[in-house]
A and B are shown apart, each in its own frame.
Chain A
Amino acid sequence: MRLPEAGKCCGIVTQRTTLMAMHANEIEALIKSALPDASVSIEDLAGDGDHYAATVVSESFRGISRVRQHQIVYAALRGRMGGELHALALQTSAPE
């Protein structure tokens, strides 16, 4: 089965409001302030500063559910997720 491309959201939305957008390094800094040990890689999916994919690897994720792992990252982003940060595809894990 083929899945639609990640990071494409509401079709009609596509506001290119750079005003609202967040920079990748800002996202990384917020995540690292909450999870200092984390290795964070961020990809700007659409080149519009609005649709990102982040991979976060941290020891703090070991032994806890994916929901909890993502909640930790969302908390680190302090309410920006779902607001000025429109789309952030998230993958989290503990180090191998």
Chain B
Amino acid sequence: MSAAERIQTEIETNPVMLYMKGNAMFPQCGFSARVVQILTHVGVPFATANVLEDAELREGIKTFSNWPTIPQLYVKGEFVGGCDIITEMFQSGELTTLFAENGIPHKADA
């Protein structure tokens, strides 16, 4: 399975899918850690993939999203953004709106 096929399957299977460095328990980059912190705070269930464990995935996700950096968040198969956009959306309340609109359970507002 190519990296693109793997990503396509993952974003279709997981309503909230985060490509990151490390995992939710042990993020290995401050930017990835921040997105994990936001998703955890919002209380949304999410799956993660660790790009540091797979060089093909690390490059593949950049090409797939046309986005040069990690982390990358997908919601219902759509690319939502990286750390800056997620932070901005969290602070403005747009992130919880996005989850609500997609019928994804979450608990907290910003």
Do residues B85 and A82 form an inter-chain contact, with CB atoms below 8 A? no
Contact with A along B22-33 (1 / 0, CB 8 A): 000000111101
Do residues A90 and B84 form an inter-chain contact, with CB atoms below 8 A? yes
Is the C-beta of A33 less than 8 angstroms from some C-beta in chain B?
A: no
Do residues B37 and A4 form an inter-chain contact, with CB atoms below 8 A? yes
B81's partner among A1, A4, A11, A66 (CB-CB below 8 A) is: A66
B31's partner among A9, A66, A71, A81 (CB-CB below 8 A) is: A9
Q: Known: A3-B87, A66-B88, A67-B80. Contact between A10 and B69, CB under 8 A?
A: no
Q: Dominant SS at the A interface?
A: loop
Tally inter-chain residue pairs, CB-CB below 8 A.
55
Is the C-beta of A8 less than 8 angstroms from some C-beta in chain B?
A: yes
> A76: shortest Cβ distance to chain B, in Å?
12
Contact with B along A73-96 (1 / 0, CB 8 A): 010000101110001011100000
Q: Which residue of chain B lies nearest to A77 when distances are taken between CB atoms in the complex?
A: B68
Do residues B85 and A10 form an inter-chain contact, with CB atoms below 8 A? no
Give the contacts of B3-35 with A (CB-CB under 8 A): 21, 28-31, 33-34
- A88 CA to B31 CA, complexed, in Å: 11
Residues of chain A at the chain B interface (Cβ within 8 Å): 1, 3-6, 8-11, 66-67, 70-71, 74, 79, 81-83, 87, 89-91
